[in-house]
Structure 1
Amino acid sequence: MTSTTTRRKSNTFYVILIAGAAALGGFLFGFDTAVINGAVAALSTAFSANSVLTGLAVSLALLGSALGAFYAGKIADRYGRVKAMVVASVLFTISAIGSGIAFGIWDFIFWRLLGGLAVGAASVIAPAYIAECSPSNLRGRLGSLQQLAIVVGIFIALLCDYFIAVSAGSAESPFLFGIAAWRWMFWTEIPPAVLYGMAALMIPESPRYLVAQGREPEAANVLSKIIGGNVLAKIEEIRQTVMREREPQFSDLLRRSGGLLPIVWVGIGISLLQQFVGINVIFYYSSVLWRAVGFSEKDSLSITVITGAVNIITTLVAIAFVDKFGRKPLLILGSIGMTNTLGTMASIFGTAPLDAAGNPTLSGSTGIVALVTANLYVFCFGFSWGPVTWVLLGEMFNNKIRAAALSVAAAMQWVANFAVSTSFPPILQYFGLGAAYGLYTTAAAISLFFVLFFIKETKGMELEDM
């Protein structure tokens, strides 16, 4: 093996290592948003909270995430990507401790809001950092690490909830040291939150941030570990694209004639559509969903865990193909698959007979078809819109506007997530599951045309050429 090949391998290993550390933010993002799944019913009992307050306890964290995402870019541009990760890690830790010791619903909502700020920050910083530290031939796969970390986080949170609830008997029963099981569910987040902070302190700052700050010797040092060889030409290239006398501002996202730059609208569009196809309904409400169509509580929890596993497998598929096939073909295939599977589910739920409580009942083969179709839908989302959205958001903006544009796009994603999550229970109550899935089918169909007309392929391009 030549020394060049050895060096290239060690460079690749180093990049994977630092991208993995940054993607821990994605793991916590998934874990934090899903961990409440198993605690919802116990919470409302423990705090005697009505359905409105319980709904706020679940969804207000998402507005905290929108706020965290909006300001994270500014913080990351002023103080660096690494310091922003450390702040997010501290917020995750405090939120996990506070949520577990909460005395009432209002202080619980406060702790969840803090966690939401951290989730929003992590959702912006990780893809920006990974994109800025990855060689162009690996950037798609490394960018997909963010989504892989999110879905693994969701899966591990659901598993922790499942095992704690089963060991204690229920989420309300006492668990270790006689403390209620649901409190332990939140405390399981403390170790990964602390690990994230420790990992962030051990990775280098983004070379593009260092060049923007005039710290070029440090940038050269980092780049030599990432790409090897002569890095001076690369530094000059970065310098040309980040040349500015002031910090980036949100006004950079505006055209001279007023209004946002077209590329920012594309970023917002892809963020909104990723949520409007209803994926988080499957993850936040799946056990409620399967119980509504006649599955037992234990079976519903098992199905939820299986769906989480399907999501992980399909994200691995995306990582394998995103740099081979490109971003656009995967999004087109995903949109077609989601439109068909969501349409099938809308049809099944819309035509199913209702029981006395007004819930659709799926008998015999229709129940199996619904279950298979739901997992096929997760599969179609998992290899396309799930990871590819984050890859594109990390790389589609030029160096000058990346952090600010990513902040706006990610904040809109959280607002859309909030809208979809809070509108699902009333849609379910007043219009039924068929109508809910009909709306998500429409969004999936729109997503296909959006990709065809507005998304440009970024495979293999250098960030400096965006």
Structure 2
Amino acid sequence: MLRENTPSDAKVNFGFIILISSVAALGGFLFGYDSGCINGAIDALQVAFNASNLGSGFNVASMLLGCAVGAFMAGGLADKFGRRPTLFVSAILFGISAFGSGIAGGSLVFIMFRLIGGFAVGAASIISPAYISEIAPAAYRGRLSSLQQLAIVLGLFLAFLSNYLIAAAAGGASETFWLGYEAWRWMFWVELIPVALFGLGLFLIPESPRYLVAVGRKEEAQVILGKISHPDDAANKVASIQKTVSSERKPKLSDIFKDGTKKLHPIVWVGLAIAALQQLVGINVVFYYGAVLWKTAGFSEADALKINVIGGIINVVSTVVAIALVDKWGRKPLLLTGSAGMAIFLGVLAVIFGTANVDAAGDLQLSGSAGTVALICANCYIIMFGISWGPVMWVMLGEMFPNRIRGAALAVAGLSQWITNFAVTMTFPILLASIGLGGAYGLYAGFALISFFIVKAIVRETKGRTLEDMQAD
């Protein structure tokens, strides 16, 4: 059932909602920064640690194993201890990872700290959008939940910009920078600034009212809901939430199965599919390996890092557009538009890279026009992702599951997303060495096309529906 906005929807304390949503979204910012800061450090790490291509790939992808564990455990931890305490732990782990990655003297220590950071990223990737969806009124939930993706792409952009500025000041990522430490180490240490802001900001936000109702703290939930919307509405909202929360037992992983069977709920399959497809279109190859990718295509390190910055700006602008459209157009139309656009532009890139000449060093030699077309198509691909799958996948994961299975469903959907991310990230160096950029982009184009038909067939629109409406699914 779709609900029209009620009069009480217009009485929300929008300033307070923006504040707490923005603080929660800082978890997404750190997710983006942590993912992007390694982009400019890959070659320097390979030299510093004397790593092979496979080892270099694992230096990048190792964090994603931690992400998978963090995402899988986050739902259960948040259901047991609360959303806010779980985000506090994530902030601490972000700090440990950022500092430790910068002091690492070898691959083993580096990977250990990246795994710790991955746990924080995975947890934040699940809890931040879930928290926002639980405090946001239905009429604004899509745009507010999209703050998570906006924060992610801002984090990516600032990581790319920081990498570029640090490398430019030092004369290269492997060169000595401040206090006698290499530039690549500072690329990780800069993250400590937003980590501190996130930790301090968490003192300003309340616990999720839906979590409080689930654990029997209805009076506290009513107070918070009174601050978010109108005090006269708070009691009714608590009662509405109470109807959809299982009070007989705590949420558990078996919730994702149909009663008395070992079959997953259909809505969980949808969540698994969209979580995996967001990665199978290859977007994080651009974000993690952007410098390597463009150097392979014949650009210098400085130019490759500059292209990353341009792509980061485009990604931010695209996400802002998505925030403006997600509650007007709806989630499904944006996903379909993005899938079609990505398939087209990835296909063109596959042709350009697949037909380019290769020099003696194995680098592609693009003609002037081919290089220009490749840059345009790559940025159009980022635009298509930025207005669709980037923010919309997180919006849908935060709102598509009914309350009775939300924690468990988020855990397995997050696990799907991060395992797929790991697989794509780990295999890119192998694909690059075997079938080249053309073949790799052709593969990602194929998945973009598949995503169009899967969304058309199984994804249901969630625009305008309250989280309580999802209970009927």
TM-score, normalising length from structure 2? 0.95
Other-structure match for 2:382:
378
Contact 2:338 2:388 in 1 (8 A): yes
In 1: Cα distance, 2:11 partner to 2:241 partner:
24
| Offset from partner CA, 1:6-54 (integer Å, 9 cap, x none) | 9957701111110100000000000011111122222222233333332
Structure 2 counterparts to residues 185-200 of structure 1, below 5 A:
185-200=187-202
User: Which residue number in structure 2 is paired with residue 55 of structure 1?
Assistant: 57
Deviation sequence 1:274-295 (CA, Å, 0-9, x none):
0000101111111211121222
Q: Whole-Å Cα distance in 2 between the matches of residues 335 and 126 of structure 1? A: 25
Could you say which residue in structure 2 is the equivalent of 1:66?
Answer: 68
Tell me, yes or no, if structure 1 residue 421 matches structure 2 residue 425.
yes
Aligned partner (choices 87, 95, 118) of residue 116 of structure 1: 118
What is the CA–CA distance in structure 2 between the aligned matches of 1:197 and 1:360, rounded to whole Å? 45
Q: Quote the offset at 1:462 in angstroms.
A: 0.5
Alpha carbons of structure 1 residues 330 and 281: separation in structure 2 relative to 1, 3 Å: same
Give deviations 1:63-87, integer Å, cap 9, x for gaps.
Answer: 1000000001111000000000000
* Cα separation, partners in 2 of 1:52 and 1:348, compared to 1, 3 Å: closer
Tell me how far apart the structure 1 counterparts of residues 185 and 121 of structure 2 sit (CA, whole Å). 20
Decide whether the 8 Å contact of 1:270 with 1:389 is kept in 2. yes
The one-letter code sitting in structure 1 at the alignment partner of 2:316 is I
Which residue in the other structure is 1:344 paired with? 348
- Greater shift, 97-106 or 56-65, is seen at 97-106
Instruction: Tell me, yes or no, if the aligned pair for 1:338 and 1:381 is still in contact at 8 Å.
Output: yes
Which residue number corresponds to residue 444 of structure 1?
448
SS of the residue corresponding to residue 463 of structure 1 reads: coil
Letter in 2 for 1:465: D
The residue aligned with 1:285 is: 289
Q: Distance in 1 between matches of 2:142 and 2:12?
A: 19
- In the other structure, the counterpart of 2:242 is 239
Structure 1, unpaired ranges of 5+ = none
**Matched residue, 2:137:** 135
Are residues 1:208 and 2:210 paired?
A: yes
Percent sequence identity over matched residues?
56
Structure 2 CA distance for aligned equivalents of residues 286 and 56 of structure 1? 16
**Partner Cα distance (1:67, 1:459) in 2:** 30
> Is the alpha carbon distance of 1:442 and 1:113 closer, same or farther for their aligned partners in structure 2, counting shifts above 3 Å?
same
Which residue among 388, 391, 408 is the counterpart of 2:392? 388
Larger deviation: 336-345 or 139-148?
336-345
Match of 1:35 in 2: 37
The answer as to 2:51 corresponding to 1:46 is: no
Q: Tell me the distance in 1 between the aligned counterparts of 2:292 and 2:49.
A: 20
Query: Structure 1 residue 413: deviation in Å?
Result: 0.6
Change in 2 beyond 3 A, CA 1:444/1:231 = same
Corresponding pairs, count: 462
2:331 equivalent among 327, 332, 341: 327
Relative distance call for 1:465 and 1:419 in structure 2 (3 A) is same
C-alpha distance 212-106 of structure 1, shift in aligned 2 (>3 A): same
Unaligned residue ranges in structure 2 (runs of 5+): 1-6
Distance 1:7 1:385, change over 3 A: closer
Q: Is the 8 A contact 1:99 1:108 kept in 2?
A: yes
**Aligned equivalent of 1:404:** 408
Cα contact 1:128–1:403 (8 A) shared by 2 = no
- Measure how far apart 1:373 and its partner are: 0.6
In structure 2, the partner of 1:453 is 457
Paired with 1:363 and 1:339, the residues of 2 have a C-alpha distance of: 23
RMSD: 1.5
Q: Is the 8 A contact 1:62 1:417 kept in 2?
A: yes
Measured after TM superposition, the shift of residue 434 of structure 1 is: 1.4
Distance 1:394 1:7 in 2: 20
Aligned-partner residue type, residue 245 of structure 1: E
Q: TM-score, normalised by structure 1?
A: 0.96
1:230 pairs with 2:233: yes
Query: Could you say which residue in structure 2 is the equivalent of 1:250?
Result: 253
Alpha-carbon distance in 1 for matches of 2:239, 2:171: 62
Are 1:82 and 2:84 counterparts? Answer: yes
Q: 292, 308, 317: which is aligned to 1:313?
A: 317
Shift of 1:136: 0.3
